């Protein structure tokens, strides 16, 4: 036992002496949470739109002004003819062109209807939908105002909406849990896989194996400092989210921390498994970073909801551990659910952890043979 | 033995912060000699050899190697020397032939010449069949001999060897020294650092460093006479203090 | 010059000697593109509705029918209890709850605004907003139908309304794949090049082989160039592979000039590799380098504009993006492939990228010292 503790102490010292890496290991999550909380947003602000006004009357002026003063848009250019649209969109400085048809004002009042066409740059689909929807909403609002000046008739059905759990529609609620999930699994898997393969690459693994320490003790000893480090990281991130973004932890903090520890454990064991299949650090890094990064971002439900994906992807997503943790963390933090709602996902994470450990042990035994 | 001076060191000082690794060194090395640079670990030998080979800048003093000033023209020096460093440094994931081809090309040798020398080298070392083996598959002794051969592949004026026989068995050490003699006979000056005192006997002249200073410089025989010793090792024990633990002494070079 | 050739040959030999890496540098991008690209979409499908119909009139049933008939919504549940509905929302069994209060049918028939109450799960704010927008669309249609039916009844005078139509250019169907493929490809090429080049240099430092190089007459720029060229070539091959896959599997459009695309990507790679090498001159172990690389790569990727539009970012973030090579290459790729932008259109991006590439490379070369 004493030998083991001595080994663990050596591993701790080893890590804490490398100040530069330490700063980065604590700094990465902090900075990235800050960045993404502040940077990532799907709000529209001052999106540049161009106007092709074939009427230039009082009505078109009113509508244009309403659009440009909404805060969502700003006037980028005034076009003179249809051919300019392609040119201006290609330059990428204008996102949409709003076209008022000829005799707009007159048609509106004599025939009861006039047409606005929006040509949106579809090369950025998420922006495009937002822009079109916002412009349409502004025009609809304008319609409402118009109708309000008439004596009879209003919009017939007026729906009201309550946005549950996130009344101010903050983007953080999606992104902060997602960033936590992403960063923790990448860092943990990377850390453990690199630290173990390092010994392999420099030949010191043999030295360790020959020592009186059992292989299990070696692995645990190597992984423990990272467990502690990651746990501190999670606490820092949660604190940051709370103080800087006002992200609540509606549910039980203890449950959240416990689940986080489970997730960290799972990620660390993934790293161990990666190290058993890698011959050197380069390989380990490739698998645990390049191999994991994009699938985690794209398939875990972090940014793109899994329900929206084509058939068959729910199976693929089912293989991604981060997917389950995102559900757990969102439920506990934002909805405030108890364990009862997340027990399934928790079980799955436990199974993943055990599976990685079991596979690693098997691989390790085969190598020793 | 005198002849052309290929290395001239005057008042060489090298400081790392407050720690003086080389303290006012003065010596000359002549063409074709085998010059042994002895001293205990931490005495400052590696620092000196790095300065001589252009890897490190002297803090002060005048150092001329192969006719070029070490402070001002290190790159010119590098064209005319070979170097075999302490940490073994051929590429482990390349084969013997690939390593030779690489360094030959870097020193500007034509392909045909490289191939010719490769064949000669492999034959001489008796490992033709290892031509396509990875360095990582070779035993240490072979690696050292190979590294030396690569270091002199381009027939440099001087070759610097930094503790080349560390960790190698006695037979391989003997073979290694045979290679050194051969090179010296061809006119290549050999500047070798070592902490093996018995190797000193093989050198033409030796210097002994202790705590950054040169405390002896002469032929092995003259030194033994001077200090009434039966071996260079005795001389060393008599005049070189064991390295004390100074501030900053951890810095190896 | 021939020195560079020898060095480059050595680099390639070393890269491919590691069989895993040799296969992974092409395999991982291919596999990830095939699997990941179809998955990415912001399109909403099957928003699950729970309806509380307290009215049960023809009008309310017609509204429900219209919802059922739309492609976006699936009416999954129907209940009378608000509590049950909220419970379903809580348990993620439905996304929206639509409550039709009693009296709805009567009021709409009489020209009074009929009220509806919608509760949405807004954890995913984007989805919630989009669902809400679609729901509004269905309700608008419902409104139109009522007006149309009652035109004869003359309960209301025709209200002037502006009709809005829209078209999406360059990507009519708003196919997200067209947008994501160049993005995914770019990110992978960035990560692979950055990591391999940087690790490579640090490994030479760690194993001591760099000393042997430093003692030869090699020039600094020759060494650095040899560290960059192989990865540049690999990156461009990955780009070519990606485009072929994109064309064959996903039928992505290619409106613009391939030459501009490759030029932009080449300069991008030089910038990335230059930065990687610069960082590796500060790192003494591969581990240290890796974590620094992690830091930069994630920042570049998440701020590149691939997941969130650049225009939505706060001003300081947009300023940072001025030195983010990924942001530039995303824009160039999208503009050239989807919009067929000309060199003129992307010239500002290309020149900026060039400046970044030159600066990073110069930093790397100057930091590397052969004589310490």
Which residues make Cβ contacts (< 8 Å) with residue C288, sequence separation at least 6?
A: A18, A20, A21, A24, C202
The answer to whether residue A160 scores a pLDDT higher than 60 is yes
Whether C201 and C256 share a structural domain: yes
Residue C88 structural domain? 47-150
pLDDT of residue B191: 95
Mean pLDDT of A96-105: 89
User: Is pLDDT of B250 > 50?
Assistant: no
- C121 and C245 belong to one structural domain: no
Please tell me the distance from the alpha carbon of residue A342 to that of residue A358, in angstroms, as a whole number: 24
Q: Model confidence at A88, in pLDDT bands (50, 70, 90)?
A: confident
Q: If pLDDT is split at 50, 70 and 90, which confidence band does C149 have?
A: low
Give the residue on A whose Cα is nearest the Cα of C90.
A335
CA torsion sign for B76, B79, B81, B84 is: positive
Between residues C334 and C158, which one has the greater pLDDT? Answer: C334
Q: Is B164 on the interface with C (CB under 8 A)?
A: no
Q: How confident is the model at residue C368 (pLDDT cuts 50, 70, 90)?
A: very high
Question: By the 8 A CB rule, do C338 and C363 touch?
Answer: no
Distance, CA of A330 to chain centre: 12
Is residue C83 domain-resident? Answer: yes
* Residue written as token pair 């940051």: A240
Q: Do C6 and B107 touch (CB under 8 A)?
A: no
Asked if the structure places residue C337 within a domain, the reply is: yes
Residue with the larger pLDDT of the pair B241 and A74: A74
Query: B with C: how many residue pairs have Cβ under 8 Å apart?
Result: 75
Q: What is the pLDDT of residues C296-346, one digit of tens each?
A: 998 898 888 877 777 777 888 888 889 999 999 988 988 888 888 888 888
* CATH architecture entry for A47-149: 3-Layer(aba) Sandwich (3.40)
Which one-letter DSSP state was computed for residue B9?
Answer: E
List C-alpha distances in Å: A14 to A10, A226, A227: 6, 12, 15
Q: How do residues B192-209 score in pLDDT, each as one tens digit?
A: 998 788 888 899 999 988
Q: Is the pLDDT of residue C20 over 90?
A: yes
Q: How confident is the model at residue C157 (pLDDT cuts 50, 70, 90)?
A: low
Total-model pTM: 0.85
Say if residue C30 is in the same domain as residue C128.
no
**Same domain flag for C201 and C233:** yes
Q: Length of chain B, please?
A: 253
Mean pLDDT of B83-109: 89
Residue C308 gets which letter from DSSP? S
Integer angstrom CA distances of residue A45 from A137, A144, B79: 15, 24, 61
Which of the other chains make 3 or more beta carbon contacts under 8 angstroms with chain B?
C
pLDDT of A151 reads 38
Helix (H, G, I), strand (E, B) or coil at A112: coil
Q: What angle do CA C249, C251, C252 make, to 5 degrees?
A: 120
Q: Domains in chain B: how many in total?
A: 1
Residue A116: name the closest of C129, C171, C174, C167 by CA.
Answer: C167
Contact A164 C122 (CB under 8 A): yes
| Cβ neighbours of residue C4 closer than 8 Å, sequence gap 6 or more | C222, C225, C226, C229
Residues of C in contact with B83 (CB under 8 A): 212, 215
Cα gap A25→A18, rounded to integer Å? 11
pLDDT at C165: 77
**Domain contains C320:** yes
Q: Average pLDDT of chain C? A: 85
Residue B64 forms part of a structural domain: no
ipTM here: 0.85
Average pLDDT over residues A208-215: 75
Residues C20 and C74 in one domain: no
Task: Decide if C184 touches A, using CB distance below 8 A.
Answer: yes
pLDDT, one tens digit per residue, over C273-288 is 999 999 999 998 898 8
Could you tell me which residue, A369 or C358, shows the higher pLDDT?
A: C358
Report the C-alpha gap between B21 and B46 in whole angstroms.
10
Q: What is the mean pLDDT of chain B?
A: 87
Res C154 pLDDT > 60: no
Buried b (16+ CB within 10 A) or exposed e, C46-78: ebbbbbbbebebebbeebbeebeebebbbbebe
Point out the least confidently predicted range of A105-114, A290-299, A303-312, B129-138: A303-312
Q: Which of A18, A20, A1, A33 is nearest to A235 (CA)?
A: A33
Kindly state whether C65 is in contact with chain A, defined as any CB-CB distance less than 8 angstroms.
no
State chain A's mean pLDDT as an integer: 83
Q: Cβ–Cβ of B89/C208 closer than 8 Å? A: yes
Q: Residue B81 sits in a domain of what CATH number?
A: 3.40.50.300
Q: What is the rounded average pLDDT of the residues C150-169?
A: 64
Q: Is residue B228, in this structure, part of any structural domain at all? A: yes
Query: Does some domain include residue C161?
Result: no
Instruction: Tell me the pLDDT tens digit for each residue of A214-224.
Output: 777 778 888 88
* Higher per-residue confidence, B7 vs A42: B7
Minimum Cα–Cα distance from A121: chain C residue: C169
On the question of pLDDT at A52 being above 60, the answer is yes
In the sheet that holds B5-16, the strands lie side by side as B19-30, B5-16, B60-65, B68-69
Contacts of C214 in chain B (CB under 8 A): 55
**In Å, what is the CA distance from B104 to each residue of B101, C17, C26, C216, C218?**
5, 21, 32, 11, 12
With helix as H, strand as E and coil as C, how does A293-311 read?
HHHHHHHCCCCCCHHHCCC
pLDDT, mean of residues A128-156: 69
Report the pLDDT value the prediction gives residue B1, as an integer from 0 to 100.
47
Which single residue is written with the structure tokens 């709602």?
A341
- Give residue-wise pLDDT tens across range C54-69: 888 888 888 888 888 8
**Per-residue model confidence (pLDDT) at position A224:** 86
- Yes or no: say if C228 and B105 are a contact pair by the CB < 8 Å rule: no
Nearest one of C182, C195, C169 to C328, comparing CA atoms: C182
Residue C123 within any structural domain of the chain:
yes
Percent of chain B beyond pLDDT 70?
94
Q: Where are the domains of chain A?
A: 2-40+171-368, 47-149
- pLDDT at residue B2, as a whole number: 58
**Chain C, nearest residue to A183 by Cα:** C298
Cβ contact C291–A24 (<8 Å): yes
CA B135 to chain centre: 21
Which residue from B minimizes the CA distance to C2?
A: B105
- The domain in which residue B41 lies consists of 34-56+74-239
The distance of Cα C300 from the centroid of its chain, to the nearest Å, equals 12
On whether residue C160 sits in a domain, the answer given is no
Highest mean pLDDT among B50-64, B130-144, C244-258: B50-64
| Element (DSSP H or E) covering residue C78 | strand C73-78
Does residue B69 sit within a domain? Answer: no
CATH number at residue C54: 3.40.1710.10
Same domain, C141 and C246: no
């Amino acid at each position: 036992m004493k030998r083991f503790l001595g080994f663990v102490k050596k591993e701790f010292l080893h890590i804490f002496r490398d100040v530069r890496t330490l700063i980065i290991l604590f700094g990465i999550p902090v900075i990235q949470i800050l960045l993404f909380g502040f940077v990532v947003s799907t709000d529209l602000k001052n999106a540049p739109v161009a106007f092709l006004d074939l009427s230039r009357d009082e009505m078109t002026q009113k509508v244009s002004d309403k659009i440009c003063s909404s805060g969502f848009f700003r006037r980028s250019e005034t076009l003179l003819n249809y051919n300019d649209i392609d040119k201006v969109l290609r330059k990428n400085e204008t996102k949409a062109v709003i076209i008022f048809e000829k005799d707009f004002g007159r048609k509106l009042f004599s025939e009861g209807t006039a047409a606005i066409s929006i040509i949106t740059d579809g090369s950025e689909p998420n922006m495009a939908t937002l822009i079109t929807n916002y412009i349409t909403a502004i025009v609809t609002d304008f319609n409402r105002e118009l109708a309000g000046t008439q004596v009879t008739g209003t919009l017939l059905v007026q729906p009201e909406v309550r946005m549950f759990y996130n009344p101010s529609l903050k983007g953080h609620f999606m992104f902060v849990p997602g960033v936590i999930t992403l960063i923790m699994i990448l860092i943990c898997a990377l850390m453990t896989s690199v630290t173990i393969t390092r010994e392999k690459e420099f030949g010191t693994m043999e030295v360790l194996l020959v020592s009186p320490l059992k292989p299990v003790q070696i692995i645990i000893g190597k992984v423990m400092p990272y467990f502690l480090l990651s746990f501190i990281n999670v606490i820092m991130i949660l604190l940051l989210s709370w103080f800087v973004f006002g992200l609540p932890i509606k549910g039980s903090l203890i449950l959240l921390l416990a689940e986080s520890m489970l997730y960290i454990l799972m990620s660390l064991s993934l790293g161990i498994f990666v190290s058993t299949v890698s011959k050197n650090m380069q390989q380990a890094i490739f698998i645990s970073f390049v191999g994991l990064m994009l699938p985690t971002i794209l398939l875990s439900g972090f940014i793109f909801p899994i329900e929206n994906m084509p058939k068959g992807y729910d199976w693929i997503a089912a293989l991604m551990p981060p997917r389950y943790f995102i559900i757990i963390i969102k439920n506990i933090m934002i909805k405030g659910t108890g364990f009862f709602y997340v027990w399934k996902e928790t079980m799955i994470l436990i199974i993943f952890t055990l599976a990685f450990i079991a596979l690693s042990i098997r691989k390790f035994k085969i190598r020793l043979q | 033995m005198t002849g052309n001076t290929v290395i001239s060191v005057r008042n060489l000082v090298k400081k790392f912060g407050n720690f003086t690794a080389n303290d006012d060194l003065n010596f000359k090395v002549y063409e074709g000699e085998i010059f042994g640079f002895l001293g205990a670990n931490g005495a400052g030998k590696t620092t000196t050899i790095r300065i001589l080979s252009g890897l490190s800048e002297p803090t002060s003093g005048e150092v001329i190697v192969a006719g070029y000033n070490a402070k001002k023209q290190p790159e010119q020096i590098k064209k005319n020397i070979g170097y075999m460093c302490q940490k073994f440094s051929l590429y482990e994931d390349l084969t013997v032939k690939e390593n030779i081809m690489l360094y030959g090309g870097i020193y500007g040798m034509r392909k045909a010449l490289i191939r010719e020398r490769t064949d000669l080298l492999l034959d001489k070392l008796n490992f033709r069949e290892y031509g396509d083996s990875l360095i990582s598959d070779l035993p240490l002794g072979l690696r050292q001999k190979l590294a030396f051969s690569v270091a002199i592949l381009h027939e440099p004026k001087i070759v610097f060897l930094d503790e080349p026989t560390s960790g190698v068995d006695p037979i391989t050490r003997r073979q290694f020294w045979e290679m050194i003699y051969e090179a010296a006979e061809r006119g290549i000056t050999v500047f070798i650092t070592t902490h093996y005192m018995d190797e000193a006997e093989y050198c033409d002249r030796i210097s002994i460093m202790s705590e950054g200073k040169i405390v002896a410089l002469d032929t092995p025989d003259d030194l033994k006479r001077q200090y009434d010793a039966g071996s260079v090792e005795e001389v060393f024990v008599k005049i070189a203090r064991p390295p004390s633990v100074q501030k900053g002494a951890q810095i190896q070079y | 010059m021939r020195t560079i050739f020898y060095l480059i040959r050595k680099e390639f030999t070393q890269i491919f000697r590691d069989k895993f890496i040799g296969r992974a540098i092409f395999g991982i991008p291919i596999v990830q593109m095939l699997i990941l690209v179809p998955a990415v979409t912001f399109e909403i499908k099957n928003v699950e509705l729970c309806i509380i119909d307290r009215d049960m009139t023809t009008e309310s049933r017609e509204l429900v029918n219209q919802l059922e008939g739309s492609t976006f919504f699936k009416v999954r549940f129907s209940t009378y209890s608000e509590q049950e509905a909220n419970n379903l929302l809580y348990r993620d069994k439905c996304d929206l709850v639509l409550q039709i209060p009693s009296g709805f049918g009567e009021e709409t028939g009489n020209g009074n605004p009929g009220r509806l109450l919608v509760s949405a799960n807004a954890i995913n704010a984007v989805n919630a907003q989009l669902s809400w927008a679609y729901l509004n669309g269905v309700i608008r249609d419902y409104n139109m139908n009522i007006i149309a039916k009652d035109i004869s009844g003359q309960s209301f005078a025709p209200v002037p309304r502006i009709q809005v139509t829209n078209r999406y250019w360059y990507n009519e169907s708003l196919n997200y794949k067209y947008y994501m493929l160049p993005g995914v490809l770019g990110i992978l090429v960035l990560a692979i090049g950055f990591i391999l080049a940087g690790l490579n240099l640090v490994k030479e430092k760690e194993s001591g082989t760099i000393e042997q190089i430093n003692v030869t007459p090699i020039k600094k720029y020759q060494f650095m160039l040899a560290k960059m060229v192989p990865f540049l070539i690999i990156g461009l091959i990955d780009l070519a592979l990606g485009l072929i896959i994109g064309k064959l599997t996903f039928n992505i459009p290619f409106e613009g000039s391939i030459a501009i695309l490759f030029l932009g990507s080449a300069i991008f790679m030089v910038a990335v590799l230059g930065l990687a090498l610069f960082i590796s001159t500060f790192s003494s172990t591969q581990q240290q380098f890796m974590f620094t690389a992690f830091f930069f790569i994630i920042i570049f990727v998440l701020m590149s504009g691939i997941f969130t539009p650049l225009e939505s970012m706060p001003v300081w973030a947009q300023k940072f993006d001025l030195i983010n090579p990924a942001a530039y290459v995303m824009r160039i790729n999208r503009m050239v492939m989807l919009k067929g932008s000309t060199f003129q259109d992307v010239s500002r991006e290309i020149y900026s990228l060039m400046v970044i590439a030159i600066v990073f490379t110069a930093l790397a070369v100057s930091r590397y010292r052969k004589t310490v």
